[in-house]
Amino acid sequence: MPVDPNTGSALPYEGQPGYEAAKKMYPEIYAAAEMAGAEDEMAEDEMLEDEMAGDEGPIDEPVIPEDGIVPERDLKPLMDQADEILGEEGEMAADEAEAVVDEEPMLDIQPLMETLGMSEQRAQEIYGAAMEIPQYAEMAPQDLADLIADDFQVLMELERMAAQMAKPQEPAPMGMPPGAPDAGPMPGGPQGEPTL
């Protein structure tokens, strides 16, 4: 972009009014601008050529046999190899899962079952509910059983929590946060008008 050295303002481009007069007044500025423009065009052309040179396609093109692809011959061995790989990975994942299960200590809920006379499933539910309540979350099954034996209200609280955990959450009505109580009908008449 040619610039007037005295004012710093842009000089007119070719085709703009005043171009011929400005070119006669500042020939060296226009010559330098034309050279810079030519260099920019050459650089752009080189970049385009470089980009186009890299568009020959994928580097590793598949080799297709002269007689074409025959599924029975070409795809079957490939599928067998994929099945072998996936089978090995599946076996490794199962082994890892068993190792994780073996590492987790088994929780002995026997004290809850004996102290409270519960089935194993019910004892698991009660203990699971206790883990959701912060004040009971760190307690061992024996300690929890002793606490419940001393205070029946603890069992009632855990029963309520277990029931809440067992029942599926219903989606809240539009515009209401989950767990918000239903406001019921609006006071007043059918359109919310106040009653007299």
Are 114 and 155 part of one and the same domain? yes
Are 43 and 25 part of one and the same domain? yes
How many degrees, rounded to 5, is the angle at CA 151 between CA 150 and CA 157? 145
Are 119 and 157 part of one and the same domain? yes
Q: 179 in a domain, yes or no?
A: no
What's the pLDDT score for residue 104? 44
Given a contact cutoff of 8 angstroms between Cβ atoms, the answer to whether 3 and 29 are in contact is yes
Are 135 and 152 part of one and the same domain? yes
- List the domain range (segments joined by +) for residue 48: 1-55
Q: 160 in a domain, yes or no?
A: yes
Q: 153 in a domain, yes or no?
A: yes
User: Distance between CA 171 and CA 163 in Å, rounded?
Assistant: 17
Instruction: From 167, 159, 157, 164, select the one nearest 123 (Cα to Cα).
Output: 159
How many degrees, rounded to 5, is the angle at CA 173 between CA 169 and CA 178? 45
Q: 190 in a domain, yes or no?
A: no
Are 43 and 90 part of one and the same domain? no
Q: 195 in a domain, yes or no?
A: no
Q: 180 in a domain, yes or no?
A: no
What are residue 164's phi and psi, to 5 degrees? -65, -40
What's the pLDDT score for residue 153? 92
Are 21 and 50 part of one and the same domain? yes
Q: 137 in a domain, yes or no?
A: yes
The SS3 call for residue 59 is coil
What's the pLDDT score for residue 87? 76
101 token code pair: 């299960």
Tally of domains within the chain: 3
Q: 189 in a domain, yes or no?
A: no
Q: Is the C-alpha dihedral spanning 88, 94, 95, 96 positive or negative?
A: positive
What's the pLDDT score for residue 113? 87
What's the pLDDT score for residue 192? 55
Given a contact cutoff of 8 angstroms between Cβ atoms, the answer to whether 133 and 161 are in contact is yes
Mean pLDDT per 10-residue section of the chain, whose length is 196 residues: 77 82 83 75 69 55 65 72 75 60 61 86 90 90 90 90 81 59 56 58
144 token code pair: 């929890």
Given a contact cutoff of 8 angstroms between Cβ atoms, the answer to whether 1 and 33 are in contact is yes
